[in-house]
Chains A and B, each alone.
Chain A
Amino acid sequence: MLLEAKNGEETVVYKAAAASVQVLVEPVGRWFEAYIRRRNRNLSASFQELEEEEESSEDEEDEEFQLEEHPMLRTLDPKDWKNQDHYAVLGLPHLRYKATQRQIKAAHKVIVLKHHPDKRKAAGEQIAEGDNDYFTCITKAIEILSDPVKRRAFDSVDPTFDNTVPSKGEGKEKFFEVFSPVFERNARWSSKKTVPSLGTPDSSFEEVDSFYTFWYNFDSWREFSYLDEEEKEKAECRDERRWIEKQNRASRAQRKKEEMNRIRTLVDTAYSCDPRIKKFKEEEKARKESEKKAKAEAKKREQEEKEKARQAELEVVRLAKEKEEEEARQAAQQAKKEKEIQKKAFKKERQKLRSTCKNWNYFADNEVDSVKMMEEVEKLCDRLELTSLQSLNEILASGSKEESKAAVEKQVEEVNIQLQKEKESEAQARQAARSAEQASGGGGGGKGWNEEDLQLLIKAVNLFPAGTNARWEVIANYMNLHSTSGMKRTAKDVINKAKNLQKLDPLQKDEINRKAFEKFKKEHTSVPPSIDKATPSERFDGSEGNAAPWTTEEQKLLEQALKTYPVSTPERWEKIAATVPGRSKKDCMKRYKELVEMVKAKKAALEQVEAKNKK
């Protein structure tokens, strides 16, 4: 229940209400959505109004258009409808492709009201029979223009459209004046609604770039079905229809291609003439050049710095070297000085000794003794060290004649002993050298190596290459086993000889070779008489087989073949021979035997050495 108002009370406000506060709410529920929508609408109300206004103005524009009567309308030939200008027929030549559907309908209505045969008949005009009346042209026009597909086809080949492309010469002079209308004209074929404009000479790079990108990727809706020479509807049967269709498609494609070429040429021409492109290119070039320059400069600077650093380093090294040299020189000078001083001291002392000795008359009474003594003193002077000279001089200076004499003699004796010792050691050394020489020369080396042995040695060295276990002992053993000279050789001998052989000068080598050849010849001349005695297996050795030495490849092939065909293989040798080109079965067998021999010998030699080592 409400309170009752007392007398004299007035409506009154006592104080302000509390201000609102902001709180967070959960974004859920329909009331929240409603609230948000309300809030958003308050903000965007003005936008909505603007949009509505625009729409209404468009509507108004639709109504205001004027019809221009076709001056030749009455003389049009209905049979030639394809070549008529449909827009002109409907009285819309000024609007053309910009005419809206509504305008077209309205225009048609107006035209029909005026030119319908019934109307004209009522006005007392002569009407041509049936389809021959020009009204058919009006019907055709509305038929074409009211159908969006047909209208597009007609628009595509609009006779008033200027298909020309400006040439380069025209474009060079006044680029914007020439190309701007051309691009604007062609923009109507674009499938995309928004077409970038050519722009002004001051357009940015991005604008120009987007413009040319658009035009290079131009997507045109222009098509040429209106110009089809054959009419599909006229065909009598399916096959004919198909043929017509094919023809039409080909011609359309051809025209479309031409159209695309036209656009392409246009864009190409514009691109080549565009002063902005030139400008951008120049700018780019300048930028690149400056970049390059900067880079080169940076590089140069860097190099210079490097050079400087290197110079500084070199300088430091040079200084250090100079300093070192200086020090070394000074040290050398010092040493020289010292040496000189020492030398002087030596000289002095020697002089002193000599003079004292002279003073003492060389401690001798007679000439002979004095001469001998003089020699001895000279020897002393030569041999004695500085310090001992000094001490001797001191003794000489301080002592009496006898003492001095004793000292000198003692020194002389010592020196003599020393000399003797030196001599002895020298002799010993000489003797040792001589004996060593003798040992090296005489121990079975030098002599005792006949040609055969040398051949054998060379063979053995080749047989046991470097790396063989206890190589030289093995070689020596081999020599001992096979040598005809019956000399026993040690490993040392063998090494020496081998080394000598290696050191031989070419002349000697030639000699050895010649000797070997002579011997070979001798042997061969001596072979024939032994043929009779030869075993059957050796009989076919010489003449018929391929005597050429085995190359390493052949050797390898043979070894491989021996491995692949084990002993048990039937016709083994034939097969082996087949794998080695240029070698007969006999050759192979012979080679095999040789190899076996060689291996056996090798093994025997090795075994012997091993047995020896074990002992």
Chain B
Amino acid sequence: MAAIGIHFGHTCACVAIFKDGRADVVANDAGDRVTPAVVGYRDSEQIVGIAAKQGQVRNAANTVVKVKQVLGRRFDDPVTQTHRTETKCPIIQKEDKPYYEITCGEQTQHVAPEDVAKQIFNKMKETAQSALGSDVTDTVITVPFEFAHSQKCALREAAEAAGFNVLRMIHEPSAALLAYNIGQDSSSGKSHVLVYKLGGTSLNVTVLQINGGLIRVLSTYTDHGIGGESFTQALVQHLASEFKRSFKHDVSGNPRALLKLMNSADMVKHSLSSLGSANCFVDSLHEGVDFECTVSRARFELLCSSLFNKSIQPIRSLLSEAGLSASDINKVVLCGGSARIPRLQHLIQDLFPDVELLNSFPPDELIAVGAAIEAGLLVGRDHLGPEDESVEVDVSAADILLKELDESGAEAFTVLLPSGTPLPARRHHVLSGEGKLSSFCLEIYQRFMEEQPEQLSKIILRDLQPKEEKHNIDAVVTMKRDGSLHVSCAAQSNGKSEAITITAAS
């Protein structure tokens, strides 16, 4: 069974298919694995993708960009108003909702953002189906964490209008985790992951906890003021000043020239992620004058240094908000196209010196791949479970600890059942004791966060045969949904066992 995962971003959309147990991004008809989320309206047709983006230079008033910003929002929403001032395509109000005013030839038509999104979804569907060679409609769509219900509904409607069967909508950070297969191999264990997503127009940092295979968002931060376009804009400023310096022409008053320069700066930025320097060349930029300029990576990093700082800053504040330190983070996932910038990766690595930075996947495809993996899990299921995007789950409130001695003989705590484990849970530990002893005492403690542990109970195991090697004791810790704890332990040598039940405080 094949299924599709779609990441629908502000600037770009990406589709991955899940087939034969693996998920892969498919290239569109232009050969690109990522399709710009731009829709251009012409007299007789609508074009989506790179062609529309390039046609924006000539057809700016009829080209819709960043439709995701207004999707599902009301007209009087401040975000809509901001979008209205930024975009070149006129937006009008109709029954409280924003509509794009598209002038096709003679007549003017009003296009809802949902219709624009539908066009993009259609394009993604075509891409996926041409790669698969068959009709596939089951899909998982990613949404940003901060999307409100109405926005999710609008996105779902747009996808369904394009003929998709939306299996589920998942959050972008979780999809990124799935793509790296974090926490999927085994259900036990607890770890913290930081997902750093720097997309075209927004920055999102999320700290997630994975416990018992379930992913839980601890805290998240979104900034719509910074993204790949900010870097491009900085570069455009630089290029414009270069042009002015060498040709004494000011291009800032020429919107078409600015768009050309913007497209060129975009290319330069992309090249600089892999090369030391890049060449910018624009034919007939302004008043017939050609423009050529070389930008080095160092120059670019200098230009954007303040922006880099701004995009790194949220990580620290977020960690303190979640009550975690940099060392608590086990993994850092980078995603979003701008996470390719080498300088940025360095800066993040500096923040987490001991942590593995996961950037082996192309960061802009990562989320789509995660969505496709989730789609692969869901496809063919009868009961898709909850319609809600988030599910409430009972988890243990405190760490369950066992008091032991470490090698030096000092008292130490071992975690039997970490806090936040989904319930009911059952953990099996093999404890070892010194062979010369004939009786053991298992002291069970619980600990909330950073507080001092408090003792819950004590289990005494007696009459063991002293022997040369260590005693191995099987301990099974089971916690029910209400939080009551059952601990049983048995010595492997003679099968002597002991069990207790600790009821949950009501």
Contact = CB atoms under 8 A, between A and B. Distances in A.
A26 B391 CA distance: 7
Contacts of A3: 403-405, 440-443
Contact of A13 (B174, B431, B456): B456
B213 A17 contact: no
Contacts of B443: 3
Given A2-B433, A13-B500, A31 B184 contact: yes
Interface stretch (A4-12, A251-259, A415-423, A529-537): A4-12
Given A14-B457, A15-B454, A31-B212, A5 B439 contact: yes
A599 interface: no
Given A25-B214, A33-B385, A40-B383, A17 B441 contact: no
Find the residue from A1, A24, A26, A33 having the highest chain B CB count within 10 A.
A26
Contacts of A22: 392-395
B485 interface: yes
Find the residue from A16, A23, A34, A37 having the highest chain B CB count within 10 A.
A23
A2 B483 contact: no
A33 B374 CA distance: 10
Interface in A134-153: none
A17 B456 CA distance: 7
A5 B461 contact: yes
A27 B440 contact: no
Interface string B417-461: 000101100000001111001011111001010000011111111
Interface string A16-45: 111111111111111111111100100000
B395 A1 contact: no
A5 B460 contact: yes
A33 B386 CA distance: 10
A13 B457 contact: yes
B168 A4 contact: no
B249 to A, nearest CB: 52
B178 interface: yes
Nearest to B424: A38
A11 B433 contact: no
B320 interface: no
B168 A23 contact: no
Nearest to A13: B457
A9 B458 contact: yes
Given A2-B441, A4-B440, A18 B390 contact: no
Contact of A29 (B183, B437, B462, B506): B183
B483 A29 contact: no
A20 B483 contact: yes
Contact of A2 (B394, B404, B456): B404
Contacts of B322: none
Given A17-B503, A23-B393, A5 B483 contact: no
A16 B482 CA distance: 12
B502 interface: yes
Nearest to B506: A19
B79 to A, nearest CB: 25
A29 B398 contact: no
Contact of B504 (A6, A16, A24, A29): A16
B397 A26 contact: no
Contacts of A14: 455-458
B457 A12 contact: yes
B389 interface: yes
Nearest to B420: A23
A64 B441 CA distance: 65
Interface residues on A, range: 35 or more
Interface string B495-506: 000101111111
Contacts of A35: 213-214, 393, 422
B171 interface: yes
Contacts of B500: 11, 13
A567 B168 CA distance: 90
Contacts of B471: 2
B172 to A, nearest CB: 10
Interface residues on B, range: 35 or more
A33 B215 CA distance: 12
B504 A11 contact: no
A15 B395 CA distance: 19
Interface in B172-195: 174-175, 177-178, 183-184, 187
Given A14-B457, A17-B503, A28 B392 contact: no
B170 A27 contact: yes
A20 B397 contact: yes
Contacts of B440: 2-5
Given A13-B502, A36-B391, A18 B184 contact: no
B238 to A, nearest CB: 41
Interface in B202-221: 208, 212-217
B197 to A, nearest CB: 15
A17 B484 contact: yes
Interface in B456-481: 456-462, 471, 473, 479, 481
A9 B462 CA distance: 10
Nearest to A16: B505
A510 B356 CA distance: 129
A32 B213 contact: yes
A27 B168 contact: yes
A282 B446 CA distance: 77
B377 interface: yes
Interface in B361-379: 370, 374, 377-378
Contacts of A34: 187, 213
A477 to B, nearest CB: 62
Given A13-B500, A26-B170, A26-B215, A20 B394 contact: yes
Given A4-B439, A33-B377, A17 B505 contact: yes
A32 B434 contact: no
Interface in B275-324: none
Given A20-B395, A20-B481, A26 B183 contact: no
A30 B386 CA distance: 15
A22 B482 CA distance: 10
Given A1-B405, A17-B484, A20-B396, A25 B441 contact: no
B505 A30 contact: no
Contact of B391 (A1, A2, A27): A27
Nearest to B393: A25
A13 B483 CA distance: 15
Given A14-B457, A15-B456, A16-B503, A27 B397 contact: no
Find the residue from A4, A15, A22, A29 having the highest chain B CB count within 10 A.
A29
A11 B460 contact: yes
A28 B175 contact: yes
Interface in A224-266: none
Contacts of B393: 22-25, 35
Contacts of B423: 20
Contacts of B459: 11
A28 B456 contact: no
Nearest to A38: B424
A20 B394 CA distance: 6
Contacts of B174: 26, 28-29
A22 B423 CA distance: 10
30 contacts: A1-B433, A1-B434, A2-B404, A2-B405, A2-B433, A2-B441, A3-B441, A3-B443, A4-B439, A11-B457, A13-B500, A13-B501, A18-B448, A18-B505, A19-B504, A19-B505, A20-B394, A22-B392, A22-B395, A23-B216, A23-B420, A24-B393, A25-B215, A29-B174, A29-B183, A29-B377, A31-B184, A33-B378, A35-B214, A35-B422
Give 6 nearest A-B pairs by CB, closest first: A31-B213, A20-B483, A5-B441, A2-B433, A5-B439, A16-B505
Interface of A: 1-6, 9-37, 40
Interface of B: 168, 170-171, 174-175, 177-178, 183-184, 187, 208, 212-217, 370, 374, 377-378, 381, 383, 385-386, 388-398, 400, 403-407, 420, 422-423, 431-434, 437, 439-443, 446, 448, 454-462, 471, 473, 479, 481-485, 498, 500-506
Given A5-B461, A11-B460, 4 more contacts: A4-B439, A5-B440, A28-B215, A33-B381
